[in-house]
Homo-oligomer: A and B are copies of this chain.
Amino acid sequence: MQNFVFTNPTTIVFGKGQEGQVGALCSELGSRVLILHYGGTFLQDIGLYDGMMASFKEAGLFTMELGGVVSNPQLDLVEEGIRLCRENNIDCLLAVGGGSVIDTAKSIAAGMSVEGDIWDYYTGAKKSEDRYKKALPIGVILTIAAAGSESSPAAVLSKGHEKLMISSPNLIPKFAILNPEFTYGLPAYQTAAGGADIISHLLERYFTQEKHVDLTDRLLEGAIKTMMYILPRVLKDPKNYDYRAEMMWCGTIAHNGILGCGRIEDWASHNIEHELSGAYNITHGAGMAIIFPAWMKYCYKENPARFVQFATRVMDVSIAYDNEEELILEGIKRFEDFLVSVGMPVRLSDAGITDDSKFDEMAHRSMLGGECMGYFKKLYEKDARNILELAK
């Protein structure tokens, strides 16, 4: 097991009616709040808006709103948010939505703590020496179980087709209100993509070369199995509180860092997928459903024992162990079958992506400026290109 430091300050406030606490929770962060959301009537439609604003009024806080966050959120809105914060002496942010809204909030929060253009910190042109220590504090009301950004240090941001990431413990939200009821109206495709995203966060941690991480292996296996049990039920019965609740809590646990302690995680599949959703604007979770099985097929020979463990303990494959390859491939096949069963694409062609002219560029950019990436198997540009080929 590797040495590690684990800390996570997010207070999770989970369950029905908890949004009524938002005013009190925000008042611990500041008195002038910028509320970020998708815009339109989404917050009214899910029945959140009136209660939230009443809670703010009761707490006597100043609020203003910035809507218009889109999936794969863009730099422009972040810049507008930073300007609004400066002009209005905002001292905390409330993100109401899923990963894209939370990441927008994190980018604004980080931008308020540094000199100059926040995008320079994403590209690596500049570095925050204090790791964005003066970032504005963030609260969250979560409306999609997927990204896990409500309790994670990372923020992803796009400028045009370029999709990059920053990460710091100082960007972890201070509180997150999780009321599963607000996810009832999420369309089936988005729900399933959220599930695929959650599972991908678990798998990026599961596929490690680190030995003696049995505890976390078992915790990860339990979480993946739960997702595979719960996701089809959520899709069948989208207003079932208990199903939505299991999925929502799993989304947070999968990505709050506790399931990665003591191991080196992989994240190569995420790097490749960020190029996909950057280039084709497909939902991140759907992109992960396409890339992860391809990554598995490309990488399993690097450590067959781990894939045998995945096949037997997670996918319940029961085939004679002396036929190792068949056992492993059956495990991957069952994982793919599961993704298909919940309506996810597992090939680029399933998502209507047939143009491979950008593959070279995508493979190049997935290296994030380095020579290679990934830890389970070290991947070079040609490997990333091969994985995109396998995913056709």
Type the 1/0 row for A228-254, where 1 means its CB is closer than 8 Å to any CB of B: 011000000000001101100110010
Counting every copy of the chain, the complex holds: 2
Question: Interface 1/0s, chain A 326-339, versus B by CB < 8 A?
Answer: 00000000000000
Q: Is A51 an interface residue (CB 8 A)?
A: no
Query: For residue A52, which residues in chain B have a CB less than 8 angstroms away from its CB?
Result: none
CB of B211 within 8 A of CB of A215, answer no
Q: Which residues of B contact A250 (CB under 8 A)?
A: 215
Instruction: Decide yes or no whether A18 CB sits under 8 A from chain B.
Output: yes
Q: Are A11 and B1 in contact (CB-based, < 8 A)?
A: no
Q: Report whether A215 and B219 are in contact in the complex, using a CB–CB cutoff of 8 Å.
A: no
User: In the complex, what residues of B have CB within 8 A of residue A209's CB?
Assistant: none
Does A215 contact B226, Cβ atoms closer than 8 Å?
yes
State which residues 188-229 of A face B: CB under 8 Å.
211-215, 217-219, 221-223, 225-226, 229
**By the criterion CB–CB under 8 Å, are B215 and A1 in contact?**
no
Interface size class of A (residues with CB under 8 A): 35 or more
Cα A4 to Cα B16 in complex, Å, equals: 10
Q: A1-60: which residues lie under 8 A (CB-CB) from chain B?
A: 1-18
Question: B5 near A8 (CB under 8 angstroms)?
Answer: no
> How far apart sit A328 and B309, CA to CA, in the bound complex (Å)?
28
Q: How far is the CA of A177 from the CA of B132 in the complex (A)?
A: 25
Instruction: Please state if A249 and B14 are interface contacts (CB–CB under 8 Å).
Output: no
Q: Does A258 contact B (CB under 8 A)?
A: yes
Report which of B9, B243, B261 forms a contact with A249, defined as CB distance below 8 A: B261
Q: Does A262 contact B (CB under 8 A)?
A: yes
Chain A residues within CB distance 8 Å of chain B: 1-18, 211-215, 217-219, 221-223, 225-226, 229-230, 242-243, 245-246, 249-250, 253, 258, 261-262
Known contacts A3-B15, A218-B221; 16 additional CB pairs below 8 A are: A1-B15, A1-B249, A4-B15, A6-B11, A7-B9, A7-B12, A8-B8, A9-B9, A211-B242, A212-B246, A213-B246, A215-B222, A215-B250, A219-B253, A222-B222, A253-B258
